[in-house]
Amino acid sequence: MFSKILVANRGEIACRVIKTARRMGIKTVAVYSDADRDALHVEMADEAVHIGPAAAAESYLIAEKIIAACKETGAEAVHPGYGFLSERASFPQMLAKEGIVWIGPNKRAIEAMGDKIESKKFANDAKVSTVPGYLGVIESPDQAVEIAQDIGYPVMIKASAGGGGKGMRIAWNAEEARDGYIRSKSEAASSFGDDRVFIEKFIENPRHIEIQVLGDKHGNAIYLGERECSIQRRNQKVIEEAPSPLLDEDTRRKMGEQAVALAKAVDYDSAGTVEFVAGQDKSFYFLEMNTRLQVEHPVTELITGVDLVEQMIRVAAGEELTLAQDEVKLNGWSVESRIYAEDPYRNFLPSIGRLVRYQPPEEMSTDVLTIRNDTGVVEGSEISMYYDPMIAKLITHAPTRAEAIDAMSAALDAFYVDGIQHNVPFLTALMNHPRWKSGELATSFIDDEYPDGFSPAVPDAEAHTVLAAVALSMGALERERLDHLPGRLRPHSGAIREDWVVKLDKSYVPIRLAAGYPGTPVELDVAIGDGPIINVESDWSPGDQLWSGKVGSENVTVQIRQVTGGYRLDWQGYSVLAKVMTPRIAELDQLMPEKLPPDTSKMLLCPMPGLVVSIAVAEGQEVKAGEQLAVVEAMKMENVLRAERDCTVSAIKAEPGDSLAVDAVIMEFS
Residue 90 scores a pLDDT above 80: yes
What pLDDT score was predicted for residue 164?
65
Local structure of residue 2 (DSSP, 8 states): -
Pairing status of strand 546-551 against strand 382-383: unpaired
- As a whole number of angstroms, the distance between CA 145 and CA 151 comes to 10
pLDDT digits (tens, 9 = 90+) for 4-41: 999 999 999 999 999 999 999 999 999 999 999 999 99
pLDDT digits (tens, 9 = 90+) for 555-577: 999 999 999 999 999 999 899 99
- As a whole number of angstroms, the distance between CA 371 and CA 392 comes to 13
- As a whole number of angstroms, the distance between CA 331 and CA 310 comes to 20
What pLDDT score was predicted for residue 112?
87
Residue among 350, 349, 270, 297 nearest 77 (CA):
270
HEC sequence for 461-502: HHHHHHHHHHHHHHHHHHHHHHHCCCCCCCCCCCCCCCEEEE
Alpha-carbon 220 to chain mean position: 33
Catalytic residues: 288
Residue among 195, 27, 7 nearest 85 (CA):
7
Average pLDDT score over residue span 507-534: 91
What pLDDT score was predicted for residue 122?
79
Local structure of residue 62 (DSSP, 8 states): -
Alpha-carbon distances, residue 613 vs 27, 631, 638, 660 (angstroms): 42, 5, 8, 11
Share of the chain above pLDDT 70, in %: 98
Residue 637 scores a pLDDT above 80: no
Local structure of residue 206 (DSSP, 8 states): -
CB atoms within 10 A of CB 33: 22
- As a whole number of angstroms, the distance between CA 220 and CA 200 comes to 33
What pLDDT score was predicted for residue 482?
77
What order do you get walking across the sheet with 665-669 strand by strand?
603-605, 665-669, 647-652, 622-623
User: Under DSSP, is residue 648 helix (H, G, I), strand (E, B) or coil?
Assistant: strand
Share of the chain above pLDDT 90, in %: 73
Residue among 538, 408, 532 nearest 461 (CA):
532
- As a whole number of angstroms, the distance between CA 124 and CA 563 comes to 60
What domains appear along the chain, each with residue ranges and CATH number? 4-103 (3.40.50.20), 132-201 (3.30.1490.20), 208-449 (3.30.470.20), 461-589 (3.30.700.30), 603-669 (2.40.50.100)
**Residue 200 binned pLDDT confidence (cut-offs 50, 70, 90):** confident
What pLDDT score was predicted for residue 493?
62
Average pLDDT score over residue span 483-499: 72
pLDDT digits (tens, 9 = 90+) for 397-437: 999 999 999 999 999 999 999 999 999 999 999 999 999 99
What pLDDT score was predicted for residue 488?
67
Q: For residues 236 and 83, is the Cβ–Cβ distance under 8 A?
A: no
Residue 507 scores a pLDDT above 90: yes
pLDDT digits (tens, 9 = 90+) for 308-360: 999 999 999 999 999 999 999 999 999 999 999 999 988 888 888 899 999 99
Average pLDDT score over residue span 531-541: 94
